[in-house]
């Protein structure tokens, strides 16, 4: 199951004033993990935002993120916030397009 909490807008172009949207989605193992993830959504959003500002340099591209291991580091950071292994994988893409396979919002997850 993939959960997309929000569309992060971060300035990743080395000091330019343009805010470019980056879609972020997280894969969790099951509904229980998704529920735990959504419960701490505000903290996760703050962590992801600060992580992206600190680590995304130059032009954003998935190959650059994967090659640098930033996807795995972000998984570790979010799991650290949640106090356990909740998130299995993270997906990121520049722009407003979706990420991965049809992510579920936390609102939709609550109704499942």
For 1, which DSSP code? Answer: -
What's the full length of the chain, in residues? 112
How far, in Å, CA of 65 to CA of 82, rounded?
Answer: 23
Please tell me the predicted confidence (pLDDT) of residue 52.
Answer: 80
The tens-digit pLDDT sequence of the chain (112 residues) is 555 554 344 434 444 445 566 777 788 878 888 888 888 888 888 888 788 878 876 666 667 777 889 889 999 999 999 999 988 888 777 665 556 556 677 777 777 7
How far, in Å, CA of 76 to CA of 86, rounded?
Answer: 10
Please tell me the predicted confidence (pLDDT) of residue 21.
Answer: 65
Domain 2-111: state its class: alpha beta
- Which sequence spans correspond to the domains of the chain? 2-111
For 28, which DSSP code? Answer: E
């Amino acid at each position: 199951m993939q959960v997309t909490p929000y569309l992060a807008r971060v300035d990743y172009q080395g000091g330019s004033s343009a805010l470019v949207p980056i879609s972020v989605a997280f894969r969790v193992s099951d509904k229980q993990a998704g529920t735990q993830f959504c419960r701490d959504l505000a903290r996760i959003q703050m962590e992801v935002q600060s992580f992206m500002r600190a680590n995304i340099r130059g032009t954003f591209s998935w190959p650059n993120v994967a090659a640098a291991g930033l996807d795995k580091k972000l998984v570790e950071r979010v799991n650290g916030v949640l106090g356990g292994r909740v998130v299995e994988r993270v997906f990121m893409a520049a722009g407003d397009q979706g990420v991965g396979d049809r992510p579920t919002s936390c609102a939709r997850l609550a109704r499942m």
